[in-house]
Amino acid sequence: MAGKTNGKNIIDNRKARHEYTFLETYEAGIELRGTEVKSLRAGKGNMNEAYAHIEKGEIWLYNMHISPYDFGNINNHEERRPRRLLLHKAEIASLYAKVREKGLTLVPVRMYFSGALVKVELALARGKKLYDKREALANKDTQRQVDRALKEMRREF
């Protein structure tokens, strides 16, 4: 299980934070081609519709968009090709057992550089219901109002 890391963010999946409740997070490596890494360094990636799936003992990341490298040649990469995630076999087996439970899925949360390597933070998540989303927005709005009131009170004193 991965904690907070200090790597440089490349992509953050904010939509997933709204749609899912994260139960556990994992740090995984990702298998990329050279032009994909160069494109990510230029900040041209999107994982809003991305999801992970376990097949034959491997975890694959689907539907993540990495734009073609501007200075690439005919060997440039495909934009939405499946990409293999790198985890230990024991972690994959554990995730497979948990994903088979009702309502759990693997969602990529963010992608970041850890040194020269590209890492993906993968979350074991459960989808939120509509009322959960409304409650989360209401809590966020209430917290914002409290913060404003405290800031105003500090200014007066």
Convert the pLDDT of each residue in 102-147 to its tens digit: 778 889 998 998 888 889 999 988 887 777 778 888 888 899 999 9
Residue 3 confidence (pLDDT): 46
Evaluate if residue 154 carries a pLDDT over 60. Answer: yes
Evaluate if residue 1 carries a pLDDT over 60. Answer: no
Mean pLDDT across the chain: 83
Q: Which domains does the chain have, with CATH numbers?
A: 8-128 (2.40.280.10)
B/e letters for 68-99, b = 16+ CB within 10 Å, e = fewer, are ebeeeeeebbeeeeebebebeeeebeebeeeb
Identify whether the C-beta of residue 113 lies closer than 8 Å to the C-beta of residue 7: yes
Evaluate if residue 100 carries a pLDDT over 80. Answer: yes
Dig out the tokens for 47 from the structure: 């994982």
Higher-confidence residue: 72 or 41? 41
Confidence of residue 22 (pLDDT cuts 50, 70, 90): confident
Dig out the tokens for 124 from the structure: 């074991």
What CA–CA distance (Å, rounded) separates 56 from 79?
A: 24
